[in-house]
Chain A
């Protein structure tokens, strides 16, 4: 078994098992937690409309912070949108998802994907530089922040190296790329990357709690 076969086979299989088990573990663990008793009188009814409202409004910066957070917000948007498009609109990736789910959809030309990949990496580096240079941000950052950044951008960088044929042969680069994806899948449920599947749950919960307590959402 060569490196590519290992990456496509056992490495990806175990990464998928850990991803599925870890994700369900996190979700079930949260869902089954006992709700804390809230003794305060509800200011508003809260409920799902409040959850949906906050899911939407938290996608944008609140007015008082708009100017101060414009740069990281823009970079974060570029990184997230770029990452999403690279993952879901690159044809070999679509073929990968088709093999898994049975569904396929149209992809983008490789040159566009390459540009998006570069934009994703550049914005990711910009965000890291900010994290390292902003004293407050640096103080509150821990291993999780840096490792999550690393495992997120590693597959993009290794993916960009494939058409460039940098340092290694195509099949080795492809194997390294798949192994880096496996690392991402393994880490995803356990660190801050868990926001991939928890972001709307946590935002919605925050919205419901805040609304009930009369906070501005």
Chain B
């Protein structure tokens, strides 16, 4: 491992300037809510780090998380940081396949016993091992075998973090999250469908810098990125406060960029950094493009009612049940009235 180049050497070889590198370190420190004094430490830690071994496991997923990281419009420092880690196994990106690929995974596990990171995207089917296999190995077996010698596990995307779309009702494969299965290792969730690339790399940077994973919320998400709601940081928030809302996707309110709450925006209950970090090199995020937030970084987001149903819509059930309640009311009222009449008759008679 000592013969491996450091991350700093690799970045230098890739043509990343000192200015660009320090800019990345400053941005990461800011995103992680660290003081500016930590920037040199981050820079030093990244520069001197020997390429940490990372094993990326993909289970029941759509590859959107990998796409999010690799399909940026131009090579980014975040992307290069990812190049600079030793991504020893990623069956979408690696050239090797079959037994060779599995041999690479085992080799990485043995060489870096206790020190490698496992990144997982996709949920794990527990209904039947045959629902999803890689090289004939069930997702469950591969996960448990791989995390046994890992330093930590990072669940990339909502499927790995919470079960995601495969776990949506009726959950035909019995999909569960990584955290549901891995109990003896630190598991950090970086949800999103897909997650923001910068968030993924910042979590890895924190691990490289401090040797530990960041502080997390009750869903195991790093607080630095998931500590505030989309609504709290949304540039359309003033319109919400003023009571100015788009009522449809093509009305005057939509054209004026008013709040999308009435069109089903889940920003108030969604914790993520989209409104601040944004997407595509900081170009925009869904609300900025005129679409309500779907709440994709929240558990069970697929089953929380319609995407275009406003958050404050009540779920009253069927009209038939309400009619049944009304009928019950009529019956109870009639019984009460009959009892009342009997009492009246009794008192009148006594009088």
Interface residues of A (CB under 8 A from B): 2, 4-5, 8-9, 12-13, 16-18, 20-34, 36, 91-93, 95-96, 99-100, 106-111, 170-171, 174
Contact = CB atoms under 8 A, between A and B. Distances in A.
A33 B316 contact: no
A32 B304 contact: no
Contact of B314 (A4, A12, A31): A12
B229 A95 contact: no
Contacts of A17: 321-322, 324-325
B316 A93 contact: no
Contacts of A28: 329-330, 332-334, 336-337
Nearest to A107: B243
B313 A95 contact: yes
**Majority DSSP secondary structure for residues of A touching B:** helix
B322 A16 contact: yes
Given A16-B316, A92-B311, A21 B262 contact: no
Given A99-B310, A100-B316, A109-B243, A33 B334 contact: no
Contacts of B89: none
Contacts of B269: 4, 170-171, 174
Contacts of B317: 13, 16
The size class of the interface chain B forms with chain A is 35 or more
B229 A170 contact: yes
B329 A21 contact: yes
* Smallest CB-CB A-B distances: 6 pairs: A28-B333, A24-B329, A32-B337, A29-B336, A99-B313, A17-B325
Contact of A92 (B304, B310, B330): B310
Interface in B268-309: 268-269, 299-300, 304-305, 309
A127 B227 CA distance: 40
B325 A18 contact: yes
B261 A91 contact: yes
25 contacts: A4-B269, A12-B314, A16-B314, A16-B325, A20-B325, A23-B329, A24-B326, A24-B329, A25-B330, A25-B332, A25-B333, A29-B333, A29-B340, A31-B337, A32-B337, A32-B338, A33-B341, A33-B344, A91-B245, A95-B310, A106-B243, A109-B243, A170-B229, A171-B268, A174-B268
A20 B322 contact: yes
Nearest to A8: B315
B261 A92 contact: yes
A95 B262 contact: yes
B241 interface: yes
B262 A91 contact: yes
Contacts of A174: 268-269, 311
B231 interface: yes
Contacts of B332: 21, 24-25, 28-29
Interface in B230-247: 231, 240-243, 245
Contact of B312 (A2, A21, A96): A96
B236 to A, nearest CB: 13
